[in-house]
Amino acid sequence: MDHIDIESNEILRRLPPHLKQFIKPQNYEDYSPIDQAVWRYVMRKNVDYLSRVAHHSYLDGLKRTGISIERIPNMYGMNRILKEIGWAAVAVDGFIPPNAFMEFQAYKVLVIAADIRQLENIEYTPAPDIIHEAAGHAPIIANPDYAEYLRRLGEIGAKAILSAYDIELYEAVRKLSILKEAANSTAAEITAAQQAVEQLQSQSVEFSEMAKIRNLQWWTVEYGLIGTVDAPKIYGAGLLSSIGESTWCMTDEVKKIPYSINTASQGFDITQPQPQLFVTPDFAYLMEVLEEFANTLSVRQGGHRGLAKLIESGMVGTIELSTGLQISGKFNRMIQNEENEVVYFQTEGPTALAYREKELIGHGTDQHLSGFCSPIGKLKGINLAIENMGPIDLKAYNFYDGKRLSFEYESGIHVEGLNVTGIRSTQGKLILIQLVDCTVTYRDEVLFTPEMGAFDMAVGKEVVSAFAGAADYKSFPNLYHKSSTESIKSNRNAAQQALEVLYGQVRNAREANAPVSEQLLWTIFVEVKEKYPQDWLLSLEILELVSTEKLRKEVLTYLAALRKRRPEIDHLITGGMELLPSPTSSLLSSP
């Protein structure tokens, strides 16, 4: 393993526990010599080509983030440099839940899938890998305008409400990506996983808020173009890390469309090249569209639609009332009046109450272990909400500690009980009233009885915000769903291990500060020809080092025959030859 100084990043220490559960060690020593060769090939191709078609921030960012063309980056080394631009990086196991991914971004942390694609998938893989994450995402964040867009996208996206369908699709895509990158996966397993993804994608399902924010992320952060429709440059990480698609996307076969808020409703298929791409004039415009989109989300609109989305999601979410009181839990019911306004809500299971993202003392999940419910709205007869009552109104309705209350909301919900205490906001408004010996009824239904204990009644006129996750992350340390599908670590057989040794010998010879032994290269080349007739990358690496014309011709002749025998890798071999310092034009024509 190459020695790299290790230095942590203070940003990582601020991460909440529910995000830290996804972090895994990079285990740099697990990268094989073939892995290093794959990284080097892709990066050399990318830098050569992308220097002409990528946004200027890319090459600048490679230098600023310390990403080397020659070797896979070490996460600790990246963090030492990333902290200078206010970011950090962590290793994770492939795809993580979309809301967790977004929240990492909000904390200015890049999540990097530490695995690297197999040689067979060198051009593109549906699985997130270190080429995609480190070589695609990291360089562009050195641009401050783009970095702020990425952070803000994460901040907004972390509060976007998911649907049950989103989680099902996430699990299916994660399984497919793992199987496609596992060397020992069978064709039947991959086909079954592919069909599961396609079956889900074929369903006519309305985009959730998270799906829409994911669409925006996909068409900007992953597959974005910048500039003009007629002469765009690449900035999306999916394109920057794919030597195949970065070339194809610049052709007329891929439709170029001006970027707008409508892109939020444009879905995508992660397993296929993209038939169209969207072009933003500059990074500032990305932020304009994002703010326009954020105004459509429940976090800013609240109301019955937002609460309905939380109920449908089946996940921990939060509503905020007009008083600022925040209720976090799994919502399972609401009652609406004739104007569709929420007049009653209910959660099931652990629930926490907060104000300004801080849990109220004595109102965590231990206190509200079995759920929480409360009416909200205006009181009948005076058309006034409790939060807007003056001293005279409060006195008339006995809203004082130790007084027995009996009142009815405009909705018809009736509350009767002994007022024990209340909690006020920093502005002095009542936000919570605790009653004992309390009965709450609605029409012929009893919503709460004295036998159920003390009744903590939320004070608020309306739901002003609804969003995914908890108001105070400390209330739910295990907030996010974590997949049970783990990455598959393939065991290399004896032949694969022997091939790894040959790759390692060539790598060591290239990096040694001494002339390369021609005899060693001959020996390795003969063994590759005889024992590994499908391998092409090691012969390219040998060709890069040869100094005698005799060996050069032998390797070139072999590669020409390999191109003819395996036309599917013709362009890969040709692309590698184009990077060589020595002229090979005589064998670059199609065999």
Residue 269 shares a structural domain with residue 379: no
User: Token match 């995508």: residue?
Assistant: 268
> What mean pLDDT is predicted for residues 136-164?
92
Sign of CA dihedral 559, 38, 67, 226: positive
Residue 524 shares a structural domain with residue 383: no
Report residue 169's pLDDT band, with 50, 70 and 90 as the boundaries: confident
Q: Alpha-carbon distance 24 to 113, whole Å?
A: 9
Domain of 207, CATH number, reads 1.10.800.10
Structural domain tally of the chain? 3
Q: What is the DSSP string of 328-371?
A: EEEEEEEEE-TT--EEEEEEEEEEEEEETTEEPTT-STTTBTT-
Residue 203 shares a structural domain with residue 252: yes
Tell me whether residue 2 is in a domain: no
User: What contacts 573, CB < 8 A, 6 or more positions away?
Assistant: 536, 540, 559, 562, 563
> What mean pLDDT is predicted for residues 9-15?
83
Residue 583 shares a structural domain with residue 447: no
> What mean pLDDT is predicted for residues 184-190?
86
Report residue 13's pLDDT band, with 50, 70 and 90 as the boundaries: confident
What is the share, in percent, of the chain residues with pLDDT greater than 90? 57
Tell me whether residue 300 is in a domain: no
Question: Is the pLDDT score of 8 beyond 70?
Answer: no
Tell me the CA distances in angstroms from 374 to 74, 331, 489, 524, one per residue in order. 52, 12, 50, 75
Report the run of H or E that residue 43 belongs to, with start and end: helix 33-53
Tell me whether residue 55 is exposed, middle or buried, using C-beta atoms within 10 angstroms of its C-beta: 0 to 12, 13 to 18, 19 or more: buried
Q: Alpha-carbon distance 443 to 454, whole Å?
A: 22
Report pLDDT for 481: 65
Report the run of H or E that residue 442 belongs to, with start and end: strand 430-442
Q: How many residues does the chain have?
A: 591
Residue 466 shares a structural domain with residue 335: yes
Report the run of H or E that residue 284 belongs to, with start and end: helix 283-294
Tell me whether residue 487 is in a domain: no
Higher-pLDDT residue of 95, 583: 95
Q: At which of 415, 446, 475 does a domain end?
A: 475
Residue 264 shares a structural domain with residue 387: no
Higher-pLDDT residue of 281, 246: 281
Take residue 398 and report the two structure tokens written for it: 């006995």
Higher-pLDDT residue of 137, 288: 288
The 10 Å Cβ neighbour count of residue 244 is: 16
Phi, psi for 542 (deg, rounded to 5): -65, -45
Residue 280 shares a structural domain with residue 134: yes
Question: Is the pLDDT score of 493 beyond 90?
Answer: no
> How many Cα neighbours within 13 Å face the side chain of 373?
21
The 10 Å Cβ neighbour count of residue 530 is: 8
Tell me whether residue 242 is in a domain: yes
Tell me the CA distances in angstroms from 96 to 19, 112, 131, 134, one per residue in order. 10, 10, 17, 16
Q: What share of the chain is helix, strand, coil (3-state, %, to 5)?
A: 45, 20, 35
Contact in structure between 65 and 77 (CB atoms under 8 Å): no
Report residue 486's pLDDT band, with 50, 70 and 90 as the boundaries: low
Higher-pLDDT residue of 225, 10: 225
pTM: 0.85
Residue 452 shares a structural domain with residue 575: no
3-class DSSP state for residue 436? Answer: strand
Q: Alpha-carbon distance 25 to 342, whole Å?
A: 46
> What mean pLDDT is predicted for residues 436-461?
96
Tell me whether residue 305 is in a domain: no
Question: Is the pLDDT score of 586 beyond 50?
Answer: no
Q: Which of 428, 426, 430, 425 is nearest to 374 (CA)?
A: 430
3-class DSSP state for residue 550? Answer: helix
Highest mean pLDDT: which range of 88-102, 231-245, 281-295:
281-295
Tell me whether residue 483 is in a domain: no
Question: Is the pLDDT score of 556 beyond 50?
Answer: yes
Q: At which of 240, 258, 291 does a domain end?
A: 291
Higher-pLDDT residue of 310, 184: 310
| Cα distance from N-terminal residue to C-terminal residue, the chain | 39
The 10 Å Cβ neighbour count of residue 590 is: 10
Residue 110 shares a structural domain with residue 213: yes
Phi, psi for 300 (deg, rounded to 5): -110, -15
pLDDT in tens, 58-86: 888 888 887 888 999 888 888 888 888 89
Q: Which of 336, 227, 242 is nearest to 282 (CA)?
A: 227
β-pairing, 276-280 vs 255-258, is parallel
DSSP state of 189: H
Tell me whether residue 426 is exposed, middle or buried, using C-beta atoms within 10 angstroms of its C-beta: 0 to 12, 13 to 18, 19 or more: exposed
The 10 Å Cβ neighbour count of residue 23 is: 18
Contact in structure between 323 and 430 (CB atoms under 8 Å): yes
Residue 34 shares a structural domain with residue 174: yes
Residue 333 shares a structural domain with residue 257: no
The 10 Å Cβ neighbour count of residue 384 is: 16
Residue 185 shares a structural domain with residue 214: yes
Q: Alpha-carbon distance 580 to 516, whole Å?
A: 16
Report the run of H or E that residue 423 belongs to, with start and end: strand 413-424
> What mean pLDDT is predicted for residues 186-206?
87
Q: Alpha-carbon distance 504 to 523, whole Å?
A: 14
Highest mean pLDDT: which range of 228-242, 277-291, 476-490:
277-291
Tell me whether residue 168 is in a domain: yes
- Work out the angle between the directed axes of helices 209-217 and 98-106 (0-180°, nearest 10): 60
pLDDT in tens, 321-340: 999 999 999 999 999 999 99
Provide the residue range defining the domain that includes 420.
314-475
Report residue 55's pLDDT band, with 50, 70 and 90 as the boundaries: very high
Q: What is the DSSP string of 497-509?
A: HHHHHHHHHHHHH
Q: How high is the mean pLDDT of the chain?
A: 89
Tell me whether residue 309 is in a domain: no
Report residue 51's pLDDT band, with 50, 70 and 90 as the boundaries: confident
